[in-house]
Every structure is written in C-alpha cells, then in structure tokens.
Amino acid sequence: MSPGILGKKIGMTQVFNAEGQVVPVTLVKAGPCVVVQRKTPATDGYNAVQLGLMEYVKPSRINKPETGHLKKASADGIRFLKELKLGPGNDDMKTGDRVLAEQFQVNQKVDVIGTSKGKGFTSVIKRHHFKGGPGGHGSMFGRAPGSIGASSFPSRVFPGMRMAGHSGDSQVTVRNLEIVGVDTEENMIMVKGAVPGPNGGYLVLRRAKSGY
C-alpha cells in the first residue's frame, strides 16, 4: 500500500452530503503515479519510495541526469518527484509499481502538502498581522513594526524577530483532511476544505497516521 499519492490542484467547489449539507471541497487530479526508486535500509539506511507524477512533459524540460534516473524505472514524462517514507507493512512496493486514485477511499484522512501562494515582499502588517499605529495627525508610526530590540543591552536584534520580508511561497502541510469522493475514471480525489497553493499547483496527499 502506497503511503500517499502526488497530484495537481484543480480548484474548489462544493458538494452535498447525505444529510443535505453543503461541503466545500478541493478537486485534486491525483496520479497516475509510478514508483521511480525504492529505498531500503540495506542500500540507503531507511525505508522509502520516490514517486513520480506521470504527465506530458517535453523531453527538453528534463535534464540529462534526471532523464537517466527515470530510464532506470522505465518512466518517461515525469517532472514532479517526491519521496515518502514507508511505514510498517508497506515493504511490498517496488520500482515500477503504479499508484492510482482508486487506492484511496471515502472518509479516509490525508495530510495535504503544497507550496503556498507567493506574495512577494510584504510588511509586518500583512506578513505577521501586526496592528500598526495611528495613520494620521502627524503620526510617523503608521505601518512600522515598532521596537525590534533595546539599544543599550543587548544592542542587537535577536534571531527570529518578526519583521517585514518575503511572504508566502513556502511549504505548508494541512493535516487530517477528509476524502469526500473518489473518481477512479478521471483520477480525481475530492478533499474536504481548502489546501495550500494556486490552481495547477503540485500537491502531495499523504495518508494520515490514522489513515493506515
């Protein structure tokens, strides 16, 4: 059993459950995936599989080292690769195995890993939700962060101080999301709630610890 599957975010919509309630869901084009590399304790020191999302990719978009790596698994047209650790009882996976959406069931819990939307260089108000100071009547505080450290002691800014900087474009994991529906013909998985990243962004759906 695969510990997860790779996919692409299609977008959000809503469905009705058995009780007639509206449930917001995210559509994920999950798979088909192939096991590109199998890592074992004997060769690598740990148990893991490297999955590749099968999609159309121009050969010129894949460099020569990666092309040779994919040929070992007889897998072409793979640009998105991710490694997932194997838990107990998942030692039966081998190179070349396929991972499909049909291996996941409704009501199963998954952790969704993606890259959040990048917002560029932002102030502390947008990046860290600071309130800021008064903006009028000659105030020069406005959107400034305030004090970032004392001058006499320790006379420096401590690491990790919340300041303005690059916001977004970082790996985000949303845990224990419920699978609402699975379309095996279209390789589509409906996940309850929102997931990180823009439409068309790559995602990793990893079985939650309670989902094994």
Span 39-51, pLDDT tens digits:
888 888 888 888 8
Q: What percent of the chain has pLDDT over 90?
A: 40
DSSP string, the chain: --SEEEEEEEEEEEEE-TTS-EEEEEEEEE--EEEEEEE-TTTTSS-EEEEEEE----GGGS-HHHHHHHHHTT--SEEEEEEEE--TT-TT--TT-EE-GGGS-TT-EEEEEEEPPP-EEE-HHHHS-------STT-S-TT-----S-TTTT-SPPTT---SEEES-SEEEEEEEEEEEEETTTTEEEEES--SS-TT-EEEEEE-GGG-
Residue closest to 207 by CA, chosen among 84, 102, 96:
84
* Same domain membership, residue 186 and residue 81: no
**Bond from prior residue into 159 cis (ω within 30 degrees of 0):** no
* Same domain membership, residue 50 and residue 25: no
* Same domain membership, residue 85 and residue 106: no
pTM: 0.81
pLDDT reading at 212 higher than 70:
no
Mean pLDDT confidence for 25-49: 87
* Same domain membership, residue 181 and residue 197: yes
pLDDT reading at 177 higher than 50:
yes
Confidence of residue 210 (pLDDT cuts 50, 70, 90): low
* Same domain membership, residue 211 and residue 132: yes
Out of 48-52, 92-96, 123-127, 180-184, which region has the weakest mean confidence (pLDDT)? 92-96
CATH of the domain at 23: 2.40.30.10
* Same domain membership, residue 26 and residue 107: yes
d(CA 9, CA 4): 15
The count of structural domains within the chain is: 2
**pLDDT single digits (tens) 117-145:** 999 999 999 999 998 888 778 888 888 88
* Same domain membership, residue 173 and residue 135: yes
Give the domain range for residue 184: 1-30+101-140+163-212
Mean pLDDT, the chain, as a whole number?
87
CATH of the domain at 87: 3.30.160.810
* Same domain membership, residue 186 and residue 170: yes
* Same domain membership, residue 95 and residue 128: no
DSSP string, 76-111: -SEEEEEEEE--TT-TT--TT-EE-GGGS-TT-EEE
Give the up-direction half-sphere exposure of residue 168: CA atoms within 13 A in the CB hemisphere: 12
pLDDT reading at 211 higher than 50:
no
